[in-house]
């Protein structure tokens, strides 16, 4: 019975987010979602359900009154703060902006579980794009949802010892993927925008600095402050998976080449998001943990 209840709650969150997306697409005066965009959105929804099924035996999917409230707060905060900084556009082949607010869905996942992180990221991105007047981009909405969901999976391992063990494995994945991206940026330093003809910039130095920063913070924190290591590493994994899904989907949605999608779209989005994962997420998570200790909860 508990398993069925959690399945309904997860499905309910996905359906509610999809309804918000459909309404935003109906009302927006900006870009409308394409057929390919909807197809890849539902592929992403299937991925979300696959992640749920893999962790279905873990008690991390409950959605009670507190979670519903935090989902709403997270979505509104992410949407409003994203809108406030969307004016700062980055060199890329699409609407990639400087977003310190990405720390919000990552934190929501870490603090309140994967469903809260998923909803905060997905619906918050819809709201932020709508307020900016850009329109609706389903694969990026879903990608932002994954960015909040993945960090929330750490709740599947309740003890500190288990979290340290699994975080070391996650760090290996993050390191390996970032090494691949560093090599790619060295081989393909810039790509031409398929429509505008402008070049997306060189990201190799940024990625190298981020890779070293993540490694140093994680290994130093794993012994003395495992919660900080957990926040940084799982936040980074969420960024890579979420932004990676959206960028790869754009190969079909926007007709990008693989190089254009990775170098011109994924790296600007993921690179800057990783900066805020390193800087802001530990601050938010440490403040939350201290507040819990003071309140005795």
Give kind and range of the element (H or E) at residue 15.
helix 2-27
Q: List the single range of 89-103, 140-154, 155-169 with lowest mean pLDDT.
A: 89-103
pLDDT digits 0-9 by tens, 241-267? 999 999 999 999 988 888 888 888 888
Average confidence (pLDDT) over 209-238: 86
Max avg pLDDT among 113-122, 191-200, 207-216, 255-264 = 113-122
Q: Round to whole Å and give the CA distance between 250 and 271.
A: 18
* DSSP per-residue codes, 102-163: GHHHHHHHHHH-HHHHHHHHHHHHHHHHHHHT-B--HHHHHHHHHHHHHHHGGGGS-SHHHH
Average pLDDT over residues 8-19: 88
pLDDT at 268: 86
Least-confidence region, from 84-88, 118-122, 194-198: 194-198
Query: How confident is the model over 39-76, as pLDDT tens digits?
Result: 999 999 999 999 999 998 888 998 889 999 999 999 99
- φ, ψ at 199 (rounded to 5°): -100, 130
- What is d(CA 42, CA 35) in angstroms, rounded to the nearest whole number? 11
Question: CA angle, corner 217, sides to 125 and 84, nearest 5?
Answer: 25
Give the burial string for 57-94 (b: 16+ CB within 10 Å, else e). eeebbebeeebbebbeebbebbbebbbeebeeebebbb
Residue range 2-155 forms a domain whose CATH class is: mainly alpha
Sign of the alpha-carbon dihedral angle for 146, 268, 234, 175: positive
pLDDT bin (cut points 50, 70, 90) of residue 26 is: very high
Q: What is the pLDDT of residue 262?
A: 86
Domain boundaries, the chain: 2-155, 160-295
Nearest to 105 by CA among 132, 131, 124: 124
Share of the chain above pLDDT 70, in %: 94
What value does the mean pLDDT of the chain take? 88
List, as one string, the DSSP characters of 198-220: PEE---HHHHHHHHHHHHHHHHH
Nearest to 150 by CA among 255, 216, 230: 230
Q: Give the model's pLDDT for residue 9.
A: 83
Q: In angstroms, what is the C-alpha Rg of the chain?
A: 18
Per-residue confidence (pLDDT) for residue 3, from 0 to 100 = 62
Q: Could you give the CA distance from residue 167 to residue 232 in angstroms, rounded to a whole number?
A: 10
pLDDT of 7:
83
Tokens of 266: 């994924």
How many other C-beta atoms can be found within 10 angstroms of the C-beta atom of residue 255? 12
Rounded mean pLDDT, 165-173: 91
- CA dihedral sign, ordered 110, 172, 49, 262: positive
Q: pLDDT value at position 6?
A: 76
């Amino acid at each position: 019975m508990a398993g069925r209840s959690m399945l309904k709650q997860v499905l309910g969150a996905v359906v509610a987010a999809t309804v918000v997306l459909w309404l935003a697409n109906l009302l927006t005066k900006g870009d409308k979602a394409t057929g390919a965009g909807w197809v890849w959105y539902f592929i992403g929804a299937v991925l979300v359900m696959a992640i749920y099924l893999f962790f279905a035996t873990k008690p991390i999917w409950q959605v009670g009154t507190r979670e519903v409230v935090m989902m709403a707060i997270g979505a509104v905060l992410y949407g409003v703060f994203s809108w406030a900084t969307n004016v700062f556009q980055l060199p890329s082949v699409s609407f990639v902006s400087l977003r310190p607010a990405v720390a919000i869905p990552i934190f929501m996942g870490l603090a309140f579980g994967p469903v809260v992180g998923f909803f905060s990221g997905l619906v918050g991105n819809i709201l932020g794009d709508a307020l900016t007047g850009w329109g609706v981009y389903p694969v990026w909405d879903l990608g932002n949802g994954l960015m909040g969901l993945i960090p929330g999976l750490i709740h599947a391992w309740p003890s500190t010892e288990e979290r340290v063990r699994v975080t070391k494995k996650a760090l290996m994945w993050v390191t390996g993927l970032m090494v691949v991206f560093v090599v790619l940026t060295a081989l393909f330093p810039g790509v031409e925008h398929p429509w505008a003809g402008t070049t997306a910039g060189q990201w190799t130095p940024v990625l190298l600095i981020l890779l070293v920063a993540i490694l140093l913070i994680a290994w130093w924190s794993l012994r003395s402050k495992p919660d900080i290591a957990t926040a940084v590493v799982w936040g980074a994994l969420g960024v890579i998976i979420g932004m990676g899904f959206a960028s790869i989907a754009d190969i079909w949605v926007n007709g990008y080449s693989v190089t254009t999608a990775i170098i011109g779209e994924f790296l600007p989005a993921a690179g800057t998001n990783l900066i805020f994962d390193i800087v802001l997420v530990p601050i938010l998570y440490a403040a939350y943990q201290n507040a819990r200790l003071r309140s005795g909860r």
